[in-house]
Structure 1
Amino acid sequence: MKQHGTVTGLQLGALTFVFVFSTTIAFLISPLAGAASFDGGLCILLASICGTGIATLSLRFALRQPSNYLGEYGGTLINKYLHKGILFLMSFFFLHLASYILREFTDFFIPTYLRETPPVAVAVLVMVAVASLTQSGVSTVFRFAQGCFLFIGVLFVLKPLFFLTAMDTPMWYEFTRIHDWKALWAQTYAIIPWYGELIMFSYIVPELNTKQKNRKIIWIGSLAGTYILLVEFLLMMFFFGPKLGATLMYPALELTGFLHLGDFLRNTDALIVSIWFTGYFIKLSIIFTIGTLLFSQALSLSNYKPITFSLAAIVVSLSLILAKNPVELAEYFNSSWATFALFVESLFFIYPIVSWVKNRRTRSN
């Protein structure tokens, strides 16, 4: 594949920003309130630093060859069979993650807005749109993110202003001290992989404009998304408290009941959900695109377009059989996903470690 390098700094920052909080804001903060209570905000902050650090550290190595995909030249750095094994495992990780996000979406949307609609119909419609966007190229997903992030960002940045009076309470003191160190570590460990997924940028370096400070841009986008997460978590704790917040399925949506934009918009549910769906679609699209690209490189294909819709069908099928219900899905995620995700994300560092060892041997000789 030839180098494009068309992804601008704004597009990279926009996608990172939306990627960090799009699904996290809907599916993370409620379990976090139950597990870590008031320490949850610190868990998010620590995890953002660790996870983003992992992603930008990997990107530093990948940028040494800005014109080549790691999936194509990685076999020259390590054993080619090990390289293909890593690609297949990384591809499975992202495609499995895409199926998980798709299942979360169907579990949320069908009971609330699409009752009596078969889940398979909703999943197929969403993945057809995602696969079509993927076929347009990696850079197209970034352009789509750029077109949407300003509207998404403005809403979530301004949203806390409508709750300022309610946040002036003695509860602030609870956020300034550590209540449970064990829970703090356990939840931070669980959230790090959410940010570690940004390691995907290291596999698409030729798509990036390497004249810009890509690592700095990722840090800015990630911290901006973290700000949104922290604000939503604080709002949930102020309005519902840790016990009630932990029982709510979608606390970010419940908060909209307290938000009125003048007399012309008394119910903001539809507005919030439509904006959240846009961010969700962006995240699902880039994850599926990366998974498809890595799978094609593992098979040594020159183009991933012929296999796009086949992989989309696999993602739909996997999303339907992942779990029997949302509770079972959440239990699997909370029990083992973090360790699996960190293991897969860490496989990238085999390349710089082996490269460092080879260079040291060469210098010694």
Structure 2
Amino acid sequence: MKQEGTVTALQTGGLTFLFVFSTTLAYLIGPLAKEAGSDGWICIVLGAVAGTALAIPPLSFALRRPTAYLGSFGERIVGKPVHKCILFLTSTFYLHLAAYILREFTDFFVPSFLKETPPVAVAILVLTAAAFLAQVGVSGSFRFAQGCFLVIGLFFLLKPLFFVPYLDTPIWREFARIHDWKTLWKQTYGIIPWYGELTMLAYIAPLFASRRKIRAAVWIGSMAGTYILLTEFLLIVLFFGPKLAGALSYPALDLTGFVHLGDFLRNMNALIVSIWFMGYFVKLSVVFAVGTLLFSEMLGVRDPKPLTAPLGALVVCFSLVLARNPVELAGYFDASWATYALAVEGLAYVYPLVSWARGRAGRRPASPSA
């Protein structure tokens, strides 16, 4: 590939920032408030730190070979059969994730804004745009993220200021104590793989130009996105309470009904949906691009571009049959997604662990002959 060393630390931090809160903001906060209540902010912090830490060791290992993709040299570490199996499972996971994100979007956008439009048409249009961006390569998603994250970050940084006059509430003291350790662990476990999806960065290490700054950029971007999640979660629970927040389908969107900018902007729903869509599209694009790249490496195809159209069609079809309704989709996620995601994300650890084991075996002194 001819995109080596084109992604800067700023672009990496910007994409990480959008990646960790785009879909999470829309689909995680409501269920988290319902299950964990005021303990949810602790779940977010613990899940963010653990999930980001999960992604760093494979990335550090991949950065040791800055000119070769892990999908190319990995077979020399673990053997061709194991390597092909890891690439297949990981590429399938990211394509599956792309279908999941696409389905979440159509379930939200079509009933709210495009009631007369068939969901399949919306899915095709959105995925087509993501596929065109994938044609540019994974680095195209990073450049797009750089253009979006400053605007999005500034908006969410200033948004809490509009709520300051309304924050005189006794519920603040509920955030200072832990109510249910079992629920705290369960919800934290469910958040970790949302951040652990960043293990995908290990498979695209040659794209990074400032390799010494990449890990710091990932941490800064992840924690900045976590700040957005924390402020949104706290505002939602303070305004609606845990029970009502858990009953609302999109509490982050409902919260904006309390904010208006004088006579200029009486309802911010359209604005926040537009901004959220940019972050959502960045995540969909990079997930689909990485899934396509890994699938092409598994097949031994040097150029993934010919695969974008058929894999895009597969993602659209899968998104439509993934579940019969949003309730079933959410039930599937609550039941098994966290364990499935962590298992696949953990496959990136096979390469550094096998390399480490071989290194120790090579340094072991030979036993003296009798």
TM-score (norm 1): 0.99
CA contact (8 A) 1:17 1:225 kept: yes
Q: What is the aligned partner in structure 2 of residue 192 from structure 1? A: 192
**Superposition pairs of residues 171-190 of structure 1, within 5 angstroms:** 171-190=171-190
- Asked whether 1:106 is paired with 2:106, we answer yes
Distance between the aligned counterparts of 1:83 and 1:234, measured in 2? 43
**Superposition pairs of residues 23-172 of structure 1, within 5 angstroms:** 23-172=23-172
Distance between the aligned counterparts of 1:166 and 1:346, measured in 2? 44
Distance between the aligned counterparts of 1:248 and 1:156, measured in 2? 21
CA contact (8 A) 1:74 1:351 kept: yes
- Residues 315-344 of structure 1: CA deviation (Å, up to 9, x unaligned): 000000000000000000000000000000
Measure how far apart 1:168 and its partner are. Answer: 2.7
Q: Give the AA of the match of 1:145.
A: A
* Residue identity (%): 63
- Residues 156-204 of structure 1: CA deviation (Å, up to 9, x unaligned): 1100000012223221111110000000000000000000001111000
Distance between the aligned counterparts of 1:60 and 1:118, measured in 2? 44
Distance between the aligned counterparts of 1:326 and 1:229, measured in 2? 22
Measure how far apart 1:2 and its partner are. Answer: 4.6
CA contact (8 A) 2:8 2:210 kept: no
Distance between the aligned counterparts of 1:186 and 1:99, measured in 2? 25
CA contact (8 A) 2:22 2:283 kept: yes
Distance between the aligned counterparts of 1:188 and 1:70, measured in 2? 29
CA contact (8 A) 1:95 1:292 kept: yes
CA contact (8 A) 1:90 1:294 kept: yes
- Residues 72-123 of structure 1: CA deviation (Å, up to 9, x unaligned): 0000000210100000000000000000000000000000000021111000
Q: What is the aligned partner in structure 2 of residue 280 from structure 1? A: 280
Distance between the aligned counterparts of 1:61 and 1:133, measured in 2? 28
Count of residue correspondences: 365
- Residues 22-74 of structure 1: CA deviation (Å, up to 9, x unaligned): 01000000000111111100000000000000111221111111111000000
Distance between the aligned counterparts of 2:277 and 2:330, measured in 1? 20
In structure 1, list runs of 5 or more residues that go unmatched. none
Cα–Cα, structure 1 residues 299 and 48, in superposed 2: closer, same or farther, change >3 Å?
same
- Asked whether 1:4 is paired with 2:4, we answer yes
Distance between the aligned counterparts of 1:155 and 1:211, measured in 2? 29
Distance between the aligned counterparts of 2:321 and 2:3, measured in 1? 38
Distance between the aligned counterparts of 1:224 and 1:212, measured in 2? 20
Distance between the aligned counterparts of 1:247 and 1:8, measured in 2? 41
- Asked whether 1:209 is paired with 2:213, we answer no
Distance between the aligned counterparts of 1:148 and 1:2, measured in 2? 25
CA contact (8 A) 1:3 1:68 kept: no
Measure how far apart 1:262 and its partner are. Answer: 2.1
Which stretch of structure 1 is more off in the superposition, 167-176 or 154-163?
A: 167-176
Q: Give the AA of the match of 1:294.
A: L
CA contact (8 A) 1:166 1:238 kept: no
CA contact (8 A) 2:91 2:291 kept: yes
Q: What is the aligned partner in structure 2 of residue 340 from structure 1? A: 340
Distance between the aligned counterparts of 1:332 and 1:158, measured in 2? 35
Distance between the aligned counterparts of 2:63 and 2:88, measured in 1? 22
CA contact (8 A) 1:22 1:279 kept: yes
Distance between the aligned counterparts of 1:114 and 1:96, measured in 2? 25
Distance between the aligned counterparts of 1:2 and 1:275, measured in 2? 32
Please identify runs of 4+ aligned residues in structure 1 that moved more than 3 A. none
